[in-house]
A and B are shown apart, each in its own frame.
Chain A
Amino acid sequence: MARRERAAALRPPADAPRRAAPQARAIADLPPVLDSLFDEPIESWLALQLPASEATPTMLGRLGTLAYRYTSRVSLEADAVLLEVQGSVRLFGGIQALCAQLLERCRAAGLAPRWALAPTPLAALVLARADRRIMVRARDRLMGELASLPVESLGWSADTLERLDSLGVRTLGALLRLPRAGFAKRFGKEALLTLDRLSGAAAEPRRGFLPREHFQVRSEPAFELVTQEALLQHLAPLLEQLEQFLRARQCGVDLLKLRLAHRAGQFTRLDVRLAAADVSAERFTTLLSEQLARRALPAAVIDCELRSGALQPFIAHSDSLWRPAEHGGALGRESPALIERLRARLGSDAVYGLCLVPQHRPEIAWRVAEPALDAPSQCSAEALYHLSTLRRPLWLLRQTAQLPCAVSDLHWIAGPERIETGWWDGQDVARDYYVVREPRGAQLWVYRERLPPHEWRWHGVFG
């Protein structure tokens, strides 16, 4: 096999003469493969290392996703991506063709990683960091390549390096020649394990890289879509595809983005947000149709693009035999479905829950909250008891208003309750609250400013 591949390096693979011209040149730029004459390589690790300025998690993620096309065994380091390519060599027509193609792709993506190929991941990493562009496949030829590298390339601590220096060990070659037992005694078993992993005497299990996925599909209708029904009909297979995609991965999404292109180069963007991650195409269709019903499209649609948000783990529920809350039937997916439907049409600000804020100022003693899907109790029994002793109106006016009648017409029921607080944050209040009845019989909550001009304001209604 090794010999066959070396031959393959000399002439382009039989199946690729047509696309060969640029690739042949790329292969010719690669260094020769250092193969063993006797045995098959078991693993070949390619390290792609980015300079410190470029090695951000995003860039590494991109590189990892790119590498994922060539093998499923990809793992990330702090500054590099390691991929095991031996399993894919045949598919891509030889190790050189594979590497050439991968490096070409990196270049096209605007990345210029340092790289090296070696039988162990650590060796590949060390060689790549030292910017040795070599392709070593044989274990017995690895040592020769590593020997000249300085010991610093292992990234050991300054203390260890100093001690090695005092022993006169400055290269990896010298390091690997030290007697094992003595080395382990002086530098610890961990260090010895690292050396074994470098040379391939010990295996190095690595954490796999999973590329982040999202769903994206574009579809150009055969004719212009004018009505909402036609558009939904056209989207139906796409949503179906999305459901298949999600089900295969046991994932759900809580965000869908739809981009509709119109003839004049205009775009309409629709975002569908779900209260909880879901997979069902039917559900997506309902929500989309609500949103479309709300929007008037400026022109006929000539192109649709559907994208999903980030995938989230989705655990399917079984439907309850009973209706929710009947015979102990649990609340299923009805609540999120209701909230989504309402929000799709009315906007997300129009649907909200309530929660308490520990404040004495009445207008900020509560706030709008995200409707809770799994109902945790918000409030301690103590706080609730305190609230039940206060006399507070069931209705509060968003903005305090003028009294609906003259002060002299009010019938006093209770008060005053003084609320004077908030001097520390500039929204201080100093008010005396009264419960009153106005001439028509409504019970109101009103207050009088403690500061001149002692204005009377209406703040709540006892409904």
Chain B
Amino acid sequence: MGRNPSTSPDTAADDPLGSLLAHPALWRGRSLARTDTHSTGYPTLDEALPGGGWPANGFSEILSPHPGLGELRLLMPLLVRFGQQSPARWVAWIAPPFEPYAPALAGAGLPLERQLVVRTDEPLWALEQAIDSGACAAVLGWLRSRSGDALQRSLRRLQLAAQRQRTPVFLFRELAAARCASPAELRLELHFRVGGARLELLKSRGGRRGAFDIEWTDNPGVTHGTP
């Protein structure tokens, strides 16, 4: 876990107010907050995200119009790093849309024996259990329900649980969810771009917004032939 200290000018040690404001629990409107992060493994993304990576305590939302745009590839470097920790903890896959394909995961360097797949119609309950147990290094969840007060409340509970257990949680949702507020630490919209992806920062600590492109690092050569 990398603690990337704030670059804000008002956190000088001799300034009592400044040191108070540097407290991690404090989130000031436009300033860059001090947050624990995990590097994403993509330099462009690290640069663009506040704190320089995925939030380590709390949940991030990745919104994409449909699966297959590289939503898992974004997380692979992080998951591989978690798999190398000793002792490695679980990576929980809650209500994934398809089967996580074991040969591809193993080929990417993930330890298969640490992956836990959960099939359920109540992903929020399972997410909360997985986070609360403290047995997971990271929790990935796929939500299909659109909105509603109940969802809002559940998400807030998830956020609190993730902060309490210091577990990074990633929720994958549909684009339509962007219209509703969310207590997520970080919200990203994922769009297709040839050879990479276009990411739009919808919400982050410190209020940074904007769009940026990333390239896939492991993109192999193009066509060998067409039928």
Question: What is A's interface to B at a CB cutoff of 8 Å?
Answer: 323-325, 328, 330-331, 334-335, 337-339, 341-342, 345-346, 349-356, 362, 365-369, 371-372, 375-379, 384, 387-398, 412-416, 432, 434, 438, 440-444, 448, 460-463
B:107-132 near A, CB below 8 Å = 107-109, 111-120, 125-126, 129-130
Q: How far is the CA of A371 from the CA of B91 in the complex (A)?
A: 11
Kindly state whether residue B72 has any CB partner on chain A within 8 Å.
yes
Q: How far is the CA of A395 from the CA of B221 in the complex (A)?
A: 21
Least CB distance from A79 to B in Å reads 47
Least CB distance from B176 to A in Å reads 16
Least CB distance from A319 to B in Å reads 12
Among A335, A391, A395, A414, find the residue whose CB has the most chain B CB atoms closer than 10 A: A395
Name the residue of chain A whose CB is nearest to the CB of B119.
Answer: A350
10 contacts between A and B (CB under 8 A): A335-B135, A356-B103, A368-B117, A388-B108, A394-B72, A412-B226, A413-B223, A434-B227, A440-B66, A461-B98
Contact of A388 among B98, B107, B193 (CB under 8 A): B107
Interface bin, chain B: 35 or more
B99 with A334: CB separation less than 8 A: no
Residues of B within 8 A of A440 (CB): 65-66, 192
Q: How far is the CA of A349 from the CA of B118 in the complex (A)?
A: 9
The 9 tightest CB contacts between A and B, nearest first, are: A441-B192, A442-B68, A366-B102, A387-B107, A463-B72, A334-B135, A395-B98, A338-B133, A392-B104
Q: How far is the CA of A442 from the CA of B97 in the complex (A)?
A: 14
Kindly state whether residue B87 has any CB partner on chain A within 8 Å.
yes
Residues of A within 8 A of B114 (CB): 372, 375
Name the residue of chain B whose CB is nearest to the CB of A415.
Answer: B224
Question: What is B's interface to A at a CB cutoff of 8 Å?
Answer: 65-73, 85-90, 96-109, 111-120, 125-126, 129-130, 133-137, 166, 191-193, 220-227
A371 with B135: CB separation less than 8 A: no
Name the residue of chain B whose CB is nearest to the CB of A462.
Answer: B68
B116 with A353: CB separation less than 8 A: yes
- Are A387 and B224 CB-contacts (below 8 A) given A331-B89, A335-B135, A395-B97? no
Name the residue of chain B whose CB is nearest to the CB of A356.
Answer: B102
Among B86, B103, B137, B192, find the residue whose CB has the most chain A CB atoms closer than 10 A: B103
Residues of B within 8 A of A355 (CB): 102, 112-113
- Are A353 and B129 CB-contacts (below 8 A) given A331-B89, A346-B120? no
Residues of B within 8 A of A353 (CB): 112-113, 115-117
Least CB distance from A332 to B in Å reads 9
User: A395-B68, A440-B66, A463-B72 are known contacts; what are 19 more A-B pairs with Cβ within 8 Å?
Assistant: A335-B90, A341-B133, A342-B118, A342-B120, A342-B129, A350-B119, A352-B117, A353-B113, A354-B102, A366-B101, A371-B90, A387-B106, A392-B103, A393-B104, A415-B223, A441-B68, A442-B68, A443-B68, A460-B98
Name the residue of chain A whose CB is nearest to the CB of B93.
Answer: A354
